[in-house]
Amino acid sequence: MAFAMSLASCPGASLQAATDRPSSLGSPAPRPRPVPRWRWPRLRPSAFASDQQALLAALREQADPEAALRMLNSALARDDFAPGRDVYEEIIRKLGTAGAFDLMKVLVREMRQEGHQAGPGVVQSFVEGYARLHMFDDAFDLVLNQLDMFGVQGDALVVVYNQLLRTLMEGSKIKLLESAYTEMSNRGVKPDLATYNTVINALCRVHQVRTAVLMLEDMSSNGVAPDEVTFTTLMQGFVEEGSIEAALRMKARMSEMGCSPTSVTVNVLINGYCKLGRVEDALSYVQQEIADGFEPDQVTFSTFVHGLCQNGHVDHALKVMDLMLQQGSDPDVFTYTTVVNCLCQNGELDEAKAVINQMVDSSCLPDVTTFNTLIVALCTENRLEEALNLTGIERNAITFNTLVDGLCMAERIDDAAELIEQMISEGLQPNNITYNSILTHYCKQGNIGKAADVLQTMTENGFEVDTVTYATLINGLCKARRTQAALKLLRGMRMKGMRPTPKAFNPVIQSLFRGNNARDALNLYREMTEVGEPPDALTYKIVFRGLCRGGGPIKEAFDFLVEMADKGFIPEFSSFRMLADGLLNLGMDDYLISAIELIAEKANFRESDVSAIRGYLRIRKFYDALATFGRLLDINNPRWTYR
Measured CA to CA, the distance from residue 323 to residue 335 in angstroms comes to 13
Band the pLDDT of 80: cuts 50, 70, 90.
low
The answer to whether residue 579 sits within a structural domain is yes
Band the pLDDT of 636: cuts 50, 70, 90.
low
Mean pLDDT of 188-194: 93
Band the pLDDT of 543: cuts 50, 70, 90.
very high
Are residues 141 and 148 in contact, defined by beta-carbon separation less than 8 angstroms?
A: no
Whether 151 shows a pLDDT value over 70: the answer reads yes
Whether 350 shows a pLDDT value over 70: the answer reads yes
Measured CA to CA, the distance from residue 538 to residue 211 in angstroms comes to 43
Q: What is the mean pLDDT of the chain?
A: 83
- Higher model confidence: residue 13 or residue 615? 615
Domain interval for residue 588? 537-643
Query: Strand, coil or helix: what is 365?
Result: coil
Torsion over CA: 563, 565, 568, 569 (sign): positive
CB neighbours (10 Å) of residue 506?
Answer: 25
Q: What percent of the chain has pLDDT over 70?
A: 89
Band the pLDDT of 307: cuts 50, 70, 90.
confident
Which letter does DSSP use for residue 149 in this model? G
Contacts of 472 (CB under 8 A, 6+ apart): 436, 439, 440, 443
Question: Any long-range contacts for 341-344 (C-beta under 8 Å, 24+ apart)?
Answer: 341/309, 341/373, 342/309, 342/312, 342/314, 342/317, 343/314, 344/373, 344/374, 344/376, 344/377
Are residues 85 and 52 in contact, defined by beta-carbon separation less than 8 angstroms?
A: no
Closest residue by Cα to residue 207 from 243, 183, 181, 177 = 243
pLDDT tens digits, 566-583: 998 999 898 899 999 999
Distances (CA, A) of 232 to 124, 197, 295, 345, 407: 27, 10, 18, 33, 49
Q: What is the pLDDT of residue 175?
A: 93
Distances (CA, A) of 333 to 266, 340, 345, 365, 366: 22, 10, 18, 7, 6
Range from 11-15, 257-261, 307-311, 469-473 carrying the lowest mean pLDDT: 11-15
The answer to whether residue 218 sits within a structural domain is no
The secondary element (H helix, E strand) that includes residue 134 is none
Contacts of 403 (CB under 8 A, 6+ apart): 375, 379, 384, 387, 388, 419
pLDDT tens digits, 2-57: 333 333 333 333 333 333 434 333 444 454 444 444 444 333 334 445 667 777 77
Helix 448-460 with 432-445: angle, nearest 10 deg: 160
Q: What percent of the chain has pLDDT over 90?
A: 33
Are residues 24 and 175 in contact, defined by beta-carbon separation less than 8 angstroms?
A: no
Measured CA to CA, the distance from residue 362 to residue 371 in angstroms comes to 17
| Total domains, the chain | 3
Are residues 537 and 568 in contact, defined by beta-carbon separation less than 8 angstroms?
A: no
Distances (CA, A) of 123 to 111, 140, 145: 13, 11, 12
Amino acid identity of residue 306, one-letter, is H
Whichever domain contains 18, its CATH number is 1.25.40
Show which of 135, 152, 169 is a domain's final residue. Answer: 152
- Higher model confidence: residue 525 or residue 107? 525
Q: How many residues are there in the chain? A: 643
The answer to whether residue 161 sits within a structural domain is no
Mean pLDDT of 124-132: 91
Contacts of 147 (CB under 8 A, 6+ apart): 123, 157, 160
- Higher model confidence: residue 627 or residue 20? 627
Closest residue by Cα to residue 139 from 94, 185, 173 = 173
Band the pLDDT of 228: cuts 50, 70, 90.
very high
Measured CA to CA, the distance from residue 397 to residue 435 in angstroms comes to 12
The answer to whether residue 171 sits within a structural domain is no
- Higher model confidence: residue 234 or residue 312? 234
The answer to whether residue 280 sits within a structural domain is no
Whether 83 shows a pLDDT value over 90: the answer reads no
Ranges of H-type helices in 480-517: 483-495, 502-514
Distances (CA, A) of 442 to 148, 410, 435, 439, 477: 69, 12, 11, 5, 10
Band the pLDDT of 77: cuts 50, 70, 90.
low
Measured CA to CA, the distance from residue 209 to residue 74 in angstroms comes to 54
The answer to whether residue 356 sits within a structural domain is yes
Show which of 128, 152, 176 is a domain's final residue. Answer: 152
pLDDT tens digits, 240-254: 999 999 999 999 999
Distances (CA, A) of 163 to 125, 159, 177, 327, 631: 10, 6, 11, 41, 61
Widest pairwise Cα distance in the chain: 107
pTM: 0.59
pLDDT tens digits, 314-347: 888 898 888 888 878 888 899 999 999 999 999 9
Show which of 152, 169, 202 is a domain's final residue. Answer: 152
